[in-house]
């Protein structure tokens, strides 16, 4: 395994594995035995960075989520896991009532919600301190200063370590970070967005993002990463839920545009040259790139995880990277 540092404050930075494991469906669609086996294999391979959320996976049973955090809590206790494993969780997108969703009925990012939801996450995970806590989605109904101060209070109290943000417009992230900096408070240091090799259209509206996707990385976020070396990007859905390799998993509609075929062709060429799978090339490109990107992979079996783990040691040549980057 290889490692990189997240966070910039000397007393709060953490070293984590360059491949993160997503636990979204653990305890719901992925049963406990399988989930434990995947988690055990990840740790055995040197993995130290696990991702979840307080709303995972509410859509599986029409509830409010929490199954993933609860399973991770049981796994931690049964294996004697301590602070050597960094567990990141999120709040803000938990449905307020069963049968609803984060689109029309989210918990939001008020100071009250931040405190209460973080406490519930600590209880489910069985930890005194949340290693990394994200604002899962934006909440324009709450003043950003209240959100910034709400997260900062938990850091000051020692119940939260690092702060992160996902699925928000880059200008909103920068505004929140500026508010925190001006007040001498901790701000977001880890960004979590959808990011893969193929590039999606970002102008396609959805229920949560009527102006176009704010969940996918675009040029604005990439330039932000270059300008702010203290930030780290955690890239979710880097393998597009199996769409690169499975015929029964077509690419999402926002990837259906003229730039996709040429990038796929180069990706497959590089995979043939390296003897690696397409998925492994996608992950290796992120892990060894010039920007601080940590791919976040899901796995419903040990075999799936092993394929992703092998990407950590896959070295792409500068020429292969150039070809991948310049395809359009």
Residue-wise pLDDT tens digits, 88-101 = 999 999 999 999 99
Of all residues in the chain, what percent carry a pLDDT higher than 70?
A: 99
pLDDT confidence of residue 207? 66
Residues 6+ apart with CB under 8 A from 300: 25, 29, 30, 34, 38
pLDDT for residue 111 is more than 70:
yes
So what's the pLDDT on residue 140?
95
CA 87 to chain centre: 11
- Is the pTM value of this prediction over 0.85? yes
The string of pLDDT tens digits covering residues 262-277 is 999 999 999 999 999 9
Mean pLDDT of 1-13: 91
φ/ψ of 157, rounded to 5, equals: -80, -15
Peptide bond into 142 cis (omega under 30): no
Residue 159 has pLDDT above 70, yes or no: yes
**Cα–Cα distances in angstroms (integers) from residue 56 to residues 22, 92, 131, in the given order:** 11, 12, 18
Q: Is the dihedral of CA 203, 204, 206, 211 positive or negative?
A: positive
Q: Which domains does the chain have, with CATH numbers?
A: 3-326 (3.20.20.100)
Cβ-proximal residues to 187 (8 Å cutoff; 6+ apart), any chain: 148, 163, 176, 177, 179, 180, 181
- Find the mean pLDDT for residues 212-234: 92
């Amino acid at each position: 395994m290889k490692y990189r540092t997240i966070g910039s404050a000397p007393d709060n930075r953490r070293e984590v594995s360059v491949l993160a494991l997503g636990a979204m469906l653990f305890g719901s669609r992925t049963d406990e035995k399988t989930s434990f086996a995947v988690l055990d294999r990840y740790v055995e391979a040197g993995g130290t960075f696990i991702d979840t959320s307080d709303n995972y996976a509410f859509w599986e049973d029409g509830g409010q989520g929490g199954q993933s955090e609860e399973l991770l809590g049981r796994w931690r206790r049964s294996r004697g896991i301590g602070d050597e494993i960094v567990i990141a969780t999120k709040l803000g997108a938990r449905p307020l009532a069963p049968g609803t969703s984060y689109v029309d009925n989210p918990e939001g990012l008020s100071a009250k919600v931040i405190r209460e939801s973080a406490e519930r996450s600590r209880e489910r995970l069985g930890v005194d301190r949340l290693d990394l806590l994200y604002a899962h989605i934006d909440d324009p109904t709450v003043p950003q200063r209240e959100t910034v101060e709400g997260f900062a209070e938990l850091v000051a109290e020692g119940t939260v370590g690092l702060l992160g943000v996902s699925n928000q417009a880059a200008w909103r992230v920068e505004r929140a970070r500026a508010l925190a900096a001006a007040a001498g408070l901790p701000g977001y240091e880890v960004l979590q967005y959808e990011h893969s090799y193929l590039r999606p259209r970002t102008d396609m509206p959805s229920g949560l993002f009527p102006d176009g996707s704010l969940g996918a990385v675009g040029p604005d976020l990439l330039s932000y990463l270059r300008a702010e070396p203290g930030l780290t990007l955690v890239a979710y859905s880097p393998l597009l839920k199996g769409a690169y390799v499975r015929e029964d998993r077509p690419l999402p509609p926002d990837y259906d545009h003229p730039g996709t075929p040429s990038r796929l062709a180069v990706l497959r060429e590089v995979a043939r040259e390296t003897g690696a799978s397409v998925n492994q090339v996608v992950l290796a490109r992120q892990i060894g790139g010039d920007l601080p990107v940590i791919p976040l992979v899901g796995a419903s079996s040990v075999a799936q995880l092993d394929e992703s783990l092998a990407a950590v040691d896959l070295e792409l040549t500068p020429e292969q990277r150039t070809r991948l980057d310049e395809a359009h």
